[in-house]
Amino acid sequence: MYDNTRPDRYFTEEHQAFRQSLRAFVEAEIIPNVEAWETAGRLPRDLYRKAGALGVLGVLYPEDLGGSEGDFFMQVVVGEELSRCGAGGVCASLGSHSIGIPPVVKHGSAALRDTFARPVIAGEKIAALAITEPGGGSDVAALRTTAVRDGDSYVVNGEKTFITSGMQADVITVAVRTDPAARGAAGISFLLVEGDTRGLTRTELTKMGWWASDTAHLAFNDCRVPASHLIGVEGEGFKAAMMNFNDERLFLAVQAYSMAQACYDEALAWAQQRRAFGQTLAGHQVIRHKLVDMAARIDAARTLTYDVIWRRMQKLDPLNVHIARTSMAKVTATDAMKFCADEAVQILGGMGFMRGTVSERVYREVKVMTIGGGTDEVMRNLAASQLGI
Is 365 designated active site? no
Burial environment of residue 217 by CB neighbours within 10 A (0 to 12, 13 to 18, 19 or more): middle
Q: Which of 38, 81, 234, 248 is catalytic?
A: 248
Q: Which residues of 172-188 are buried (b: 16+ CB within 10 A; e: fewer)?
A: bbbbbbbbeeeeebebb
- Please list the active-site residues: 248
